[in-house]
Amino acid sequence: MHKPAILLIYTGGTIGMVKDFETGALKAFNFNQLLERIPELQLLDCTIDTYSFEEPIDSSDMSPEHWVKMAEVIEKNYHLFDGFVVLHGSDTMSYTASALSFMLKNLSKPVILTGSQLPIGDLRTDAKENLITAIQIASLQENKQPVIKEVGLYFEYKLYRGNRTTKISAEHFNAFTSPNMPHLAESGVHLKVNHHLLSNFYTSNQLIIHKTLETNVFILKIFPGITQNVLNAILNIPNLKGLVLETFGSGNAPTEFWFINALQKAIQKGIKIVNVTQCWGGSVDMGKYETGTALKQIGVISGYDITTEAAITKLMFLLPQDLNPNEFANAFQTAICGELNLMN
């Protein structure tokens, strides 16, 4: 009988770290040791091959080059495997999950990111459950077809749509949430998949990877008291191409002339500005209050209920494409792979 074939891609993160005896700091260790530490992996009903970054990294060092490398590993092995599990530090896992979701066009197999809060060797580690269940999820098949056909993030008993997630705790095992989208599956005594939430985003299953990402982008979280100097300094960063503006509530910002005027000038210069709420959940609605209407009028693009992580990576992904301002706004305001919901 055909057992699903899974490729485990190790990029680094706490899951594979050990304590440096001299300094006490956590550092990455050899991936082969990771497999030695979980003999249970051999009991799974799938075959597992591994690929490790030559130099595993703490995910705070994650960069678009690493995303391209991951996408290339997946592309190269796409026809050989039924599913992919990416071991990744939790700190920037939501950014990577979002970026990969855009970069892997026509994805029709599972790519599941996971990691842990405690190293695999720690007595109370959360790594084993996360790793084993992530592999089980990547192996799920129905009629010889993968059940999950997208980039997911599995952590502490829940599988989320990757580009809907955000890290919420540096302390708890329950480190992630997906504020505007229910989880896709939950692991308890049984593995419960919410089939009605799964999507097939693409009509073709010919994987195409996008490798060009624009990094001249910025995230600006506004706050009461933000000064004209600060705003101008950001908007005049040489070669700035895109900005995620984290606004108040349902997409509101100061109505003062200098504020709106500076944004308008930046938009006229060709900088794409996307409005994302700094609230934990909910959506931008730029027609709801006067303080949001002004932004809409000058051409700020709505991010609706997108996360900041998905917004910045979607900017990186869309900016290199040759789109005129209208096409760009439309493309941003349309879901590519479930990253936003047009509620208004």
299: left (phi over 0), alpha (psi -120 to 50) or beta: left
* Binding of ligand ASP by 16 (CB under 6 A): no
Decide: helix, strand or coil at residue 181.
coil
Region of 7-15, 66-74, 155-163, 210-218 interacting with ligand ASP (CB under 6 A): 7-15
* Binding of ligand ASP by 305 (CB under 6 A): no
* Encoded tokens for 143: 């009629």
* Binding of ligand ASP by 58 (CB under 6 A): yes
* Binding of ligand ASP by 169 (CB under 6 A): no
Residues 117, 175 contacting (CB under 8 angstroms): yes
Active site residue 114: no
Neighbouring C-beta atoms of residue 249, cutoff 10 Å: 16
Give the span between the Cα atoms of 9 and 36, in whole angstroms.
16
Neighbouring C-beta atoms of residue 35, cutoff 10 Å: 17
* Binding of ligand ASP by 59 (CB under 6 A): yes
Q: Nearest distance from residue 70's CB to ligand ASP, in Å? A: 14
Q: By beta-carbon distance, which residue lies closest to ligand ASP?
A: 89
Nearer Cβ to ligand ASP (60/330): 60
* Encoded tokens for 319: 């900016």
Report helix, strand and coil shares of the chain as percent, to nearest 5: 30, 25, 45
**Per-residue mark of binding to ligand ASP, 73-112 (x: CB under 6 A):** ----------------xxx---------------------
* Binding of ligand ASP by 162 (CB under 6 A): no
Residues 186, 192 contacting (CB under 8 angstroms): yes
* Binding of ligand ASP by 13 (CB under 6 A): yes
Residues 293, 328 contacting (CB under 8 angstroms): no
Region of 39-47, 54-62, 79-87, 240-248 interacting with ligand ASP (CB under 6 A): 54-62
Binding site for ligand ASP (CB under 6 A): 12-14, 58-60, 89-91, 115, 117
What residues act catalytically? 14
